[in-house]
Structure 1
Amino acid sequence: MSVTPKKPRRAAVGTKKPPTLETHATALQDGVSDPLLDPALYLNRELSQLDFNFRVLAQALDESVPLLERLKYLCISCTNLDEFFEIRAATVRHAQDFGTPLPPDGMTPTTVLKRIHDRAAELVEAQYACWNQVMRPSLGAAGVRILGRDTWTARQTRWLRAYFREEVMPVLSPLGLDPAHPFPKILNKSLNIVVVLKGKDAFGRLGHLAIVRAPRSLPRIIQLPENISGGEYDFVFLSAMLSEFVHELFPGMEVKGAYQFRVTRNSELIVDEEEVENLALALRDELIGRGYLRAMRLEIAATCPMPIVRTLLQNFDLPENAVYRIDGPVNLNRISQIFDLVQRPDLKFPTFQQRQLAGSDAMFELVAGGDVLLHHPFDSFAPVLELIKQAAEDPNVLAIKQTLYRTGKDSAIVEHLVQAARNGKDVTVVVELRARFDEEANLGLADRLQEAGVQVVYGVVGYKTHAKMLLIVRREGRKLRRYVHLGTGNYHAGTARGYTDFGLVTANADIGNDVHLLFQQMSGLAPAIGLKCLLQSPFTLHAGVIARIEREAANAAAGRPARIVAKMNALNEPQVMRALYAASQAGVQIDLIVRGACALRPGVPGVSENIRVRSIVGRFLEHHRVYWFQNDTTPELFCASADWLERNLLRRVETCFPLLDRDIAARVREESLDNYLADNVNAWELREDGSYHRLEPDDSAAPHSAQGWLLAHLCG
């Protein structure tokens, strides 16, 4: 497969004025002790993460993508932006308030926050331009109509008014603002209407402002009956209905204006684990107030008068650059409901048949004969479920140990673990309570497992358990044998259908012993341990990655073959980036496939001209973590649960496992590295200035989509 970068076919996405690289040249001339510490060599992680959403949004504008799938990309970019403000921007605000060491790019939190708001404003403008000018007209032309208030017929209006009175109005509780009714608490990301009133109410109180909050029990998209509307797929936003009929909540008063708004709040839970006696109880207490933490962003109708906007900003303690004027619904990601409501296969990606694993009805016999690799979503996740199910039922299985980070609702894995405990197996589950946005679900999961007799461990104080591993101990004759599953993704059947991930099932004795020691370390109070095959965070993975990068640099300096190819979700760890720069200076050819944020700046003369960075955005969410090191003539290939982020390498429990079977290693190399380096359809190349350019086929190469190639070769 060709790995030559292709020319851009579209304007740069994510372009921003970079820090000048002249300072780096000056540093070299002035003999700075370590020129690779120069901030000009690094991109800001938060701004890079924000720019990823421009690449997602570009999929919504790509006419080669089915229309309803394009709608999903638009919604995903909006959901991602919500989470960005809830977590990333909130983290920067925390750093602004309390101070933390500056990142490698040297930007202060105040500067980063300003650039976040500026760049986010550009993204919001692009999102609503996409919705108003492209997606809504295109959907309408395809027979999927989102009806604005100015287009409702008399018949539609009558039906909607009746719906409002019968289904909506009974659950609304409008609140007039006066000395007895101060500004209410506004729940994170809830839909609200601020209403301007004139006149007196029944008690003689002068009207001014009122707040109407839409409970989350109400659907945000209402589908009109075909016999009323005349179209099979005609929809109305709840926000439009509220604005149209809100006057019915204030009889005898005149509504001068009604403006939708939404506030996004900090959602990062902070629990001082060393100060609490019971992490689960402390987390439950924190969850109660999560929806009312510090405000980070205000979205409001574009037509709202500035005095009202200032009133809201004052109540939310937000600066003026934190307000986003919205020309449309304030929560575009709610439109994603239309994808499921509209039964139009012609507007969606073609379905595909996941590959089934032959012999999975006898997993222990199959794995005893050799390692098994699963490449999701092209390979079914069913063998993993079947492995746990068979372990739960097999009288020869003595123990099952597993980590759970995200499992999804009604998880079959949890049911099998519960059954295993009831069947007398010794079952231990490490449940990470602090899996972001899944905390409440994981608390319930932990309770359920404990009630069934499962030994539940809440991970390690101060370190999130992000490793994906399963250990089964089985008696075979006079010996005990360990069976292991290690993965790059969560034990979540839903994401296994939409994320690209690898899973390895093996009975290798050394790997089995390593995983056994890791579970001992997490459930007990064991000291740091030496592992034979696996690298682990926070102990050996960081140093192991750097040592292998430095080994490639030494090989290149000695004239031996040297190359690094790695695929991950994000990259920002300073020491790893400096090691990559040094390896590039030594002549190592480095190809990085980084889906999201990348703080490394490729292509800098004298520093990183041998480093290429690309991002793939396609039908499936890229989630593999794969590291390949040429190592002269004996290549090493690892899969991992960890990105090359500071948090993953230093502040989490992670696993990185070698692929010891040569055929499996070759398959992973081809499918997840060479294949992706040849992509010239969904690939974006990171340039020296921090911008991304989408690649296209040229005269030397036919179109190649990495995900399309996998669908054809693994599922065709």
Structure 2
Amino acid sequence: MPTTHENLLNRELALIEFNRRVMAQAEEERLPLLERLKFLCIVSSNMDEFAEVRVAWLKEAAQLTPDRILADGSKPAEVLTRLSEAAHALVREQYRLLREEIFPALRTEGIIFMRRNEWDSEQKAWVRDYFFRELMPILTPIGLDPSHPFPKLLNKSLNFIIELEGADAFGRESGIAIVQAPRILPRVIKLPAKLCGGNQHSFVFLSSILHSHVQELFPGMTVKGCYQFRVTRDSDLNVDDDDVKNLRTALQGELRQRQYGDAVRLEIADTCPTHMEEFLLHTFNLQQQDIYRVDGPVNLVRLMQVPDKVDRPDLKFAPFEATLPPALAKKTPLFEAIRKNDILLHHPFQSFQPVIDMLVNAATDPEVVAIKMTVYRTGTDSVLMESLIAAARAGKQVTVVVELMARFDEEANISWASRLEDAGAHVVYGVFGYKVHAKMLLVVRREEGQLKRYVHLGTGNYHPRTARLYTDFGLLTCNEDIVSDVNDLFVQITGLGRAGELKHLYQSPFTLHNMIISAIDREIDHAQAGKPAQIIAKMNALLEPQVIQALYRASQAGVKISLIIRGVCALRPGVEGLSENITVRSIVGRFLEHTRVFYFYNDKAEDMYIASADWMGRNFFRRIETCVPILDVKLKRRIMKEGLRIYLDDNTNAWEMQADGSYRRRMARGKGRCAQETLLQEYSS
């Protein structure tokens, strides 16, 4: 049956649902207190990006194509209204949780955020000195009048709108001024312990310091009010392929404008009077549904720095030491170990170090003649990138596909691209119009007079830090067919020509979508023939309508389908006559679930794949992605146990999706089972 609008859920509302699940971690009293604070901050970070990208896109669509019908049958303006209601409810609950639960619990533990009315005389004196020493020299108040128009404010910067009375030295009576807090300044400042009875963890907010001394910025005038606010802007980048001759140069120009895109959201202090609110809304060309009044700091993301300032291990997750695979634990040289057997890495439970070692050793190994690698997100400080630079300087053939359009990592990637080119590496920016999201590393060695190739293929980025925070799989292999496929993909990306047929790998935008549809259809055929049929898939998002339609057909044919989807899912599970054989669950825990694993029973063949791609239109049709079959039977069993079954058994961090798109927490009856904790215990023993 065709997939109708009623059978698809809205993507943006699903993102709000995901952030509700993240916020539930902040509500969870069994978690360490400072980790609960982090989860609350993660919600704010997610909602920032949501406004910058998804809300911005919807606003543009509502203006330019108001009659456009979205996947769920809604028009852009309708979705914006529903989103505003859901987002406002989420933010209200977030700040209530902070005020009524997190802050009081932190105070009980001696971690105190002192309000202005709590400062004693010595603390007030210290704050005053801090203001004149650290703030006053760099603050620039802007009084609004015909010669001082409203300043261009940076995206997500902390600002204050000041209401004034009286005339200044020049006789001006504007009545309104704007003060922008420089980003170089911390938003949370630790008070000296000697001023707090020896307490090491007493803090004041930068906004409180400015509020208490804002009068100093306007001598001779009366400050009637001072209200913090923050504007979020459209941060998506648009590079017109008709005008681009050099993508890096064009992108650098766009990045300079990102901080000043169209406003999409306004956060203000809940004490701000209505006339000031209306003034800001008019200034930023926003509507009432775009404003968020908050009782607390307007940027909770900056509270993420607090746990780093607090030495309280008892209020944080216990540290863990990632282990090495048995094949490498005995100090067997890496390339020798790969020659013996394929090696599967399961991060963060197993160390990312073998991937680092593969590249670091390749840079200095005299037998290595060439290295090829894709880079999507790697950070501003990366030993992997430094190793590529060192390899290029050592005269090795180094080819790096740097994705310049990796959202919010563009500047870091431009910098790495420049350094790599200066070192003599061949740097390409992929294929214009297609993001290179594949995770591939190829090393070519000369062994016994012949060239031998080794590859790493993964579900996650080449980013050592996120490898300790995200769950991902990586495969190290020298299988001749697979390494040949990887080399062909690099040639395809860097050169010109038609896509050739690959032996084992599937790729977007050419073969991956068809493979997934065909694999689902094959399970349908088996079910209709009376054979057992099953699909288990784990990913970050499921949105692509044709795949959803195929899954609905499979459910109706009797195929048992278990989906583990961390984030957005447009499929409706458990609908009689449509999807009663489909279950969808989301796991939200200490680590960000990031693995993409696809399993098809296939009449006992048990096909298993790991991939860089989610089941989304962009991953299938607008990105270059890889999907690799797991050929080793033992590794298949491992992925089934560690990557799928254990998550289907989770009754602690699991949320079960309902047909209307809402989620219910899976509550343990008897013994609790937490996939992430179990894996930590198994790999640490």
Under a length normalisation based on structure 1, what TM-score does the superposition of the two structures give?
A: 0.94
1:84-104 per-position Cα deviation (integer Å, ceiling 9, x unaligned)? 001111122222233396332
Q: For residues 580 and 715 of structure 1, what CA distance do their matches in structure 2 show?
A: 38
Asked whether the 8 Å contact 1:360–1:386 carries over to 2, the reply is no
Per-residue deviation, 1:473: 1.2
One-letter amino acid of the structure 2 residue matched with residue 465 of structure 1: V
Q: SS at the partner of 2:329?
A: coil
Which residue is equivalent to 1:663? 634
Q: Is the counterpart of residue 460 in structure 1 residue 431 in structure 2?
A: yes
Which residue is equivalent to 1:559? 530
Which residue is equivalent to 2:676? 707
Q: SS at the partner of 2:599?
A: strand
One-letter amino acid of the structure 2 residue matched with residue 234 of structure 1: S
Going from structure 1 to structure 2, the CA distance change for 1:359 and 1:406 (only over 3 Å counts) comes to farther
Asked whether the 8 Å contact 2:597–2:610 carries over to 1, the reply is yes
Which residue is equivalent to 2:75? 108
Asked whether the 8 Å contact 1:360–1:383 carries over to 2, the reply is no
One-letter amino acid of the structure 1 residue matched with residue 257 of structure 2: G
Q: For residues 414 and 317 of structure 2, what CA distance do their matches in structure 1 show?
A: 36
Going from structure 1 to structure 2, the CA distance change for 1:313 and 1:145 (only over 3 Å counts) comes to same
Which residue is equivalent to 1:335? 303
Which residue is equivalent to 1:576? 547
Task: Give 1:28-427 correspondences, 5 Å limit.
Answer: 34=1, 36-99=2-65, 102-230=69-197, 231-356=199-324, 357-359=328-330, 362-427=333-398
Per-residue deviation, 1:666: 0.6
Q: For residues 648 and 243 of structure 2, what CA distance do their matches in structure 1 show?
A: 48
1:428-473 per-position Cα deviation (integer Å, ceiling 9, x unaligned)? 0000000100101110100000000000010101000000000111
Q: Is the counterpart of residue 637 in structure 1 residue 605 in structure 2?
A: no
Per-residue deviation, 1:664: 0.7
Q: SS at the partner of 1:87?
A: helix
Asked whether the 8 Å contact 2:509–2:622 carries over to 1, the reply is yes
Q: For residues 4 and 249 of structure 2, what CA distance do their matches in structure 1 show?
A: 45
Q: SS at the partner of 1:247?
A: helix
Asked whether the 8 Å contact 1:450–1:456 carries over to 2, the reply is yes
Per-residue deviation, 1:297: 0.3
Q: SS at the partner of 1:102?
A: coil
Q: For residues 240 and 627 of structure 2, what CA distance do their matches in structure 1 show?
A: 28
* Equivalent of residue 471 in structure 1, options 429, 439, 442: 442
Q: For residues 95 and 133 of structure 2, what CA distance do their matches in structure 1 show?
A: 32
Q: SS at the partner of 1:77?
A: helix
Q: SS at the partner of 1:170?
A: coil
Per-residue deviation, 1:361: 5.8
Per-residue deviation, 1:627: 0.3
Q: SS at the partner of 1:133?
A: helix
Per-residue deviation, 1:542: 0.7
Worse overlay, 408-417 or 503-512: 408-417
Gaps of 5+ in 1: 1-33
One-letter amino acid of the structure 1 residue matched with residue 323 of structure 2: R
Asked whether the 8 Å contact 1:473–1:481 carries over to 2, the reply is yes
1:664-685 per-position Cα deviation (integer Å, ceiling 9, x unaligned)? 1110110010000000000000
Q: For residues 97 and 359 of structure 1, what CA distance do their matches in structure 2 show?
A: 62
Going from structure 1 to structure 2, the CA distance change for 1:714 and 1:414 (only over 3 Å counts) comes to same
Q: For residues 273 and 311 of structure 2, what CA distance do their matches in structure 1 show?
A: 40
Going from structure 1 to structure 2, the CA distance change for 1:316 and 1:360 (only over 3 Å counts) comes to farther
Q: SS at the partner of 1:193?
A: strand
Asked whether the 8 Å contact 2:630–2:636 carries over to 1, the reply is yes
Asked whether the 8 Å contact 1:199–1:254 carries over to 2, the reply is yes
Per-residue deviation, 1:359: 4.6
One-letter amino acid of the structure 2 residue matched with residue 46 of structure 1: E
Q: SS at the partner of 2:203?
A: strand
Asked whether the 8 Å contact 1:467–1:653 carries over to 2, the reply is yes
One-letter amino acid of the structure 2 residue matched with residue 715 of structure 1: S
One-letter amino acid of the structure 2 residue matched with residue 104 of structure 1: A
Asked whether the 8 Å contact 1:520–1:526 carries over to 2, the reply is no
1:283-319 per-position Cα deviation (integer Å, ceiling 9, x unaligned)? 0000111000011100001011111111111111111
Per-residue deviation, 1:479: 2.3
Q: For residues 232 and 273 of structure 1, what CA distance do their matches in structure 2 show?
A: 55
Asked whether the 8 Å contact 1:302–1:325 carries over to 2, the reply is yes
One-letter amino acid of the structure 2 residue matched with residue 48 of structure 1: A
Q: For residues 240 and 332 of structure 2, what CA distance do their matches in structure 1 show?
A: 46
Asked whether the 8 Å contact 1:199–1:253 carries over to 2, the reply is yes
One-letter amino acid of the structure 2 residue matched with residue 69 of structure 1: E
One-letter amino acid of the structure 1 residue matched with residue 51 of structure 2: F
Per-residue deviation, 1:689: 1.7
One-letter amino acid of the structure 2 residue matched with residue 148 of structure 1: R
Worse overlay, 323-332 or 355-364: 355-364
Runs of 4+ in 1 over 4 A off after TM superposition: none
One-letter amino acid of the structure 1 residue matched with residue 81 of structure 2: K
Q: For residues 273 and 714 of structure 1, what CA distance do their matches in structure 2 show?
A: 48
One-letter amino acid of the structure 1 residue matched with residue 156 of structure 2: K
* Equivalent of residue 421 in structure 2, options 434, 438, 450: 450
Q: Is the counterpart of residue 593 in structure 1 residue 560 in structure 2?
A: no
Q: For residues 454 and 479 of structure 1, what CA distance do their matches in structure 2 show?
A: 24
Q: For residues 70 and 628 of structure 2, what CA distance do their matches in structure 1 show?
A: 29
One-letter amino acid of the structure 2 residue matched with residue 87 of structure 1: V
Q: For residues 343 and 558 of structure 1, what CA distance do their matches in structure 2 show?
A: 62
One-letter amino acid of the structure 1 residue matched with residue 668 of structure 2: P
Q: For residues 549 and 228 of structure 1, what CA distance do their matches in structure 2 show?
A: 66
Q: SS at the partner of 1:136?
A: helix
Q: SS at the partner of 1:197?
A: strand
1:481-504 per-position Cα deviation (integer Å, ceiling 9, x unaligned)? 110000000000000010000110
Q: For residues 259 and 597 of structure 1, what CA distance do their matches in structure 2 show?
A: 36
Gaps of 5+ in 2: none
Asked whether the 8 Å contact 2:19–2:43 carries over to 1, the reply is yes
Asked whether the 8 Å contact 1:360–1:366 carries over to 2, the reply is no
